[in-house]
Structures are given as structure tokens and as C-alpha cells.
Amino acid sequence: MPSIKYIDGSSNTRERAITTASQGTTANPDVFLFSSDELGDKSNTAATTDTGSFSLISLFKRLLSSLTSNVGLQADTAATSDTGTFSLISLFKRLLSSLTSNVGLQADTAATSDTGSFSLISLFKRLLSSLTSNVGLQADAAATSDTGSFSLISLFKRLLTIVSRPSIVYANATLTATTDTQIVAAPGTGISVYITHLVVQNITTTATTVNVKQGTTTVLSFLLQTQGASQVIAFPQRRDFKLTANTALNLQATTANAITYSVGYFTGA
């Protein structure tokens, strides 16, 4: 028989047997009746309201009944609308059906436009396709112009080409004639000569003028009065002196064999 400990009026710890048949006898006083109006009995019916005087068992039976009607059963069909009286299971089945049609399936093809009725998966596949064509691939070549249809990667490669300074080529010699001396040939359509630095020096006692030309057009001139007189120009990076596209770089001195020169240059768009 189960029992429970308690402290009597004399502060003694005693143990009382639990039974539903008796509250004790003179010979066995430590027995009490284990029953309660608040807890109720297994035979109590479900409470009919959420308020009122009902045992705990009656209220719990009402809760179970409420769960059955509100939560629902496995066999409940999907709700036919987002409003109305449906069990939680019916509404959840409707949600699953909505997810299938709106989110879509793995096999859904890419959407054919940015508008229209497409699943989320179809629209996402369209986005991926758009990224591939607009952002581009690692293998995309650099764009050939600042306008036109190029992927972002192609345009970025063009930008890197523009801001990256190519290797500098050096030309050093003496101007032996008074006519134009070609230093760099015309580099081709859309390509220009960029001068990075220019050094000219008079090696005679004769005052001599040096002309820097793009093709036949003079763009810079220096007068070197005496022997040892020089002119040195170094252009800052990305501010190199750019000649007209597809034009040769020429030097010309007014006195033959009077001028030595050193030119640094590169070619590019």
C-alpha cells in the first residue's frame, strides 16, 4: 500500500498509508482517504464550458475534445480557403499545397519573363540565368569598347587593362637629320602612343630646337641654347602624354647630329 510522510502535532514524523476505502481506525489511525472534489473521478464527463465548477478531470476531457476539433485529424482534407472554419491540420494541408504551387518543384523550368505566373523556383532559375549572361563568366574576354553588350566581367577586365600601365619601351639615339625621325610607328586603329618620359640634350655648341610630333603635327618644342643644355619631362602614371590614335611619334631637330634623346613609351587604347 502506498504511503506518505507527515509531521503530527507533536512534531513527530509519521507515515500514513494511502487508501480510497477508509480514513483510518483506532487501531490504524495513520490511514486517510485519497479523494478530492477538485481532481474528480475517472467517470466525470467533460466540462461543458471553460468556466464554472468542474473537476480537473472534466476540464481536461474538455481540452482533449477541443484539441480534436481545432487541431483536427490526419484524415481532414485541405482547407478550401484562407478563411472559414477549418482544423489546424486542414489549414496546414492548404499551406503545403500553396507551397508546392508557389514555391514550386525542382523540375520547374526557368521563367520566361520577369512578370507572369511562375513559381519561386522558376523565377530563381531565371535570375541565375540572368546573372550568367549579365555578370558573365571567368573566361569572358575584356570588352573592346566602353559601350555595347558586354558582361560585367568583360567590362571589369577592360577597366583593369585601362588602369594597368603596360611595360614601358625605351628608345635612345641621336637625331642625325633635320627632317622627322620616326621613334614609334603608328600602332593601328584605336591604339595610341603614350609618352611616359622624354629627355633631349644638346651635344653641340649650336642652339637647336627640338620638336615632338604626333605624325606631322608638332605638340611640344624645346630650344636648347648651348652644349649640355637639356630638357627632361616625366609624366605621372595614368597621366602619360597620349598622342592621337594610330599616329606615329616623331622627333625633329633644327640641327643635324646635335641632339640625343631618350623616350619612354607604351601603346594602348
In this predicted model, what pLDDT tens digit does every residue of 88-119 receive, in sequence order?
Answer: 999 999 988 888 888 888 999 999 999 989 99
Question: What's the confidence (pLDDT) of residue 28?
Answer: 54
108 sits in which H/E element = none
Higher pLDDT, 165 or 157: 157
Strand partners, 202: 259
Question: What's the confidence (pLDDT) of residue 17?
Answer: 61
Q: What is the longest distance spanned by two Cα atoms in the chain?
A: 147
The predicted model scores a pTM of 0.45
Name the percent of the chain lying above pLDDT 90.
Answer: 54
Report the C-alpha gap between 194 and 250 in whole angstroms.
13
Q: Is the dihedral angle over the CA atoms 175, 181, 187, 190 positive or is it negative?
A: positive
Start-to-end CA distance of the chain, whole Å, equals: 102
The residue ranges of every structural domain in the chain are 3-33, 169-268
Question: What does R_g of the chain's alpha carbons equal in angstroms?
Answer: 49
Cell matching residue 214: 604626333
CATH 3.40.50.800 is the classification of domain 169-268:
no
Cell matching residue 185: 610607328
Per-residue pLDDT of 31-75, as tens digits, reads 544 455 567 788 889 999 988 889 899 999 998 888 878 888 889
In sequence order, what E strands does the chain have? 3-7, 13-19, 31-33, 169-175, 181-184, 192-202, 208-214, 217-224, 230-234, 241-242, 249-253, 259-268
Q: What is the mean pLDDT of residues 237-246?
A: 91
Q: Helices in the chain by DSSP H: which ranges? A: 56-70, 88-102, 120-134, 152-163
For residue 38, the 8-state DSSP code is T
Report the C-alpha gap between 130 and 72 in whole angstroms.
45
